[in-house]
């Protein structure tokens, strides 16, 4: 028997972080997504232990300022893309206002560190979310396009195909076929 799961990466990550911090007995507050304020001095040994525990979940502690800001950009993009309601502001304005830096500066920094543009990263994140929404079979392509702030299904389809090599409809058919084969085998 196969079971399909739906989960929120933000909630999942926050829960893991809280559990690992509690295991170490640290006093802390979560300042924002991906930001922890320790309310006491933490010995290097505990920080290293915490870092190792996080790494086993694919969570990395970032130390250099450029990397911290790039991570904040990524977190802001995740917030932008996963928002239930489409925002009525350009992504560049949203990111610049949220991080209190000019978009030009953030864009240059992001490209220098990640070797890709913010725009490309946003597209990749949107397409990954679109794939999850298609897999979960909850929304139509029209609803997915609206939720991800695309002007039309055609625009979503074009970016989906440019990113994955197939159209969203073809992706839906593949998922449906896999489910049919899986249910026949069980």
Residue 10 predicted with pLDDT over 80: no
pTM: 0.68
Domain boundaries, the chain: 10-61, 126-185
pLDDT digits (tens, 9 = 90+) for 132-178: 998 887 788 898 888 888 889 999 999 999 999 999 999 988 888 88
Name the CATH superfamily housing domain 126-185: Homeodomain-like (1.10.10.60)
Exposure string over 147-161, b if 16+ CB within 10 A, otherwise e: bbbbeebeebbebbb
For residue 49, the model assigns a pLDDT of 84
> What element of type H or E holds 129?
helix 118-136
For residue 126, the model assigns a pLDDT of 92
Instruction: In whole angstroms, give the CA distance from residue 36 to residue 30.
Output: 5
pLDDT digits (tens, 9 = 90+) for 15-38: 888 888 888 787 878 766 667 777
Token pair for residue 92? 């560049």
Instruction: In whole angstroms, give the CA distance from residue 131 to residue 127.
Output: 6
């Amino acid at each position: 028997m196969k079971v399909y799961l739906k989960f929120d990466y933000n909630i999942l990550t926050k829960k893991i972080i809280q559990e690992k911090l509690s295991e170490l007995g640290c006093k802390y507050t979560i300042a924002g997504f991906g930001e922890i304020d320790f309310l006491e001095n933490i010995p290097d040994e505990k920080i290293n232990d915490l870092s190792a525990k996080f790494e086993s979940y694919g969570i990395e502690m970032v130390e250099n300022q450029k990397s911290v800001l790039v991570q904040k950009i990524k977190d802001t993009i995740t917030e932008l893309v996963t928002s239930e309601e489409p925002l009525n502001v350009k992504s560049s304005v949203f990111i610049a206002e949220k991080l209190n830096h000019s978009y030009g500066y953030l864009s240059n920094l992001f490209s220098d560190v990640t070797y890709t543009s913010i725009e490309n990263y946003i597209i990749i994140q949107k397409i990954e979310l679109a794939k999850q929404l298609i897999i979960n079979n909850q929304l139509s392509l029209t609803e997915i396009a609206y939720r991800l702030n695309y002007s039309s299904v055609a625009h979503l389809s074009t970016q989906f195909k440019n990113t994955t090599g197939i159209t969203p409809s073809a992706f839906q058919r593949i998922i449906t076929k896999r489910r049919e084969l899986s249910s026949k085998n069980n």
